[in-house]
Amino acid sequence: MKRPNLFDAAIVVFAIVLIPIAYGTWMLFRTPHPTVSSVTRVDITREERRIGGPALLAKFKVRGSGFRPLLRATIDDSPAIGFVLENSGSADLLVGATPAGVHDLVLYDGVNEVARAPKAVTIDPPVGRHATVRVRLDSPAEVIQMIKAGDHDWSVNPNRAVVTAIDKELLTVDLGVVALDKGWQYFDADMKPGVPFTLTTDTYFVKGTVVSVGLR
């Protein structure tokens, strides 16, 4: 049996020393695996509302680790509007049209699923109310003269605006609104004093400015 010489022993010692060094180097430079520790609903900013438009339904703050650029998110199988990275441990999740209920948050790197938070995203059903809205019209007199009680927005939605009164340039309509971002919206448009309002029927189109909103 051949006895190990000094050269062979040096190779063994070198290998033993090299293994932990290589492992430490791999641990230092490897891409960390993303993890999700919490998902919390937060308010949508005015700028996000402007950019996201009516498709933007909700915003969540996602905290965890290993987040990196180019990760994409889905709510169950539906793509999120955006997964906006703040840093490796925090990101904003922008959610579009999603059915009410509890959903999984899934993160992908390319086509590979890299993290999943089961039942982390809760979408509440919209809270609906009816409102009486008064509008100061800004349309030609010949168009305003066409308006009469009972006229309604062109939509077949049961929450569509219905004219209840018209007094010169002051229009009163009843319509359905839903709660969103600490306010009320009618077909994705804010309903509060000072905002524009339009009524489109089968025969005319008028526009104006909301004077008052009374919830019922």
Residue with tokens 């539906």, as numbered in its chain: 78
Could you tell me if 110 and 141 lie in one domain?
A: no
Could you tell me if 112 and 146 lie in one domain?
A: no
Could you tell me if 100 and 114 lie in one domain?
A: yes
Domain count, the chain: 2
CATH of the domain at 75: 2.60.40.10
Pick from 189, 188, 158, 190: which is nearest to 174 by CA?
158
Q: What are 11's two structure tokens?
A: 């190779």
Domain range spanning residue 206?
128-215
Could you tell me if 164 and 199 lie in one domain?
A: yes
**Each residue's pLDDT expressed in tens, for the chain with a length of 216 residues:** 555 555 555 565 555 655 565 545 544 445 678 999 999 999 888 778 777 766 788 899 999 999 999 999 999 999 999 999 999 999 999 998 888 899 999 999 989 999 999 999 999 887 788 999 999 999 999 999 999 999 999 887 788 999 999 998 999 999 999 877 678 888 778 899 999 999 999 999 999 999 999 988
Could you tell me if 40 and 111 lie in one domain?
A: yes
75 vs 31: CA distance, rounded Å: 24
pTM of the predicted structure, to 2 decimals: 0.58
Could you tell me if 52 and 39 lie in one domain?
A: yes
Question: Residues 139, 198: contact at Cβ < 8 Å?
Answer: no
186 vs 51: CA distance, rounded Å: 18
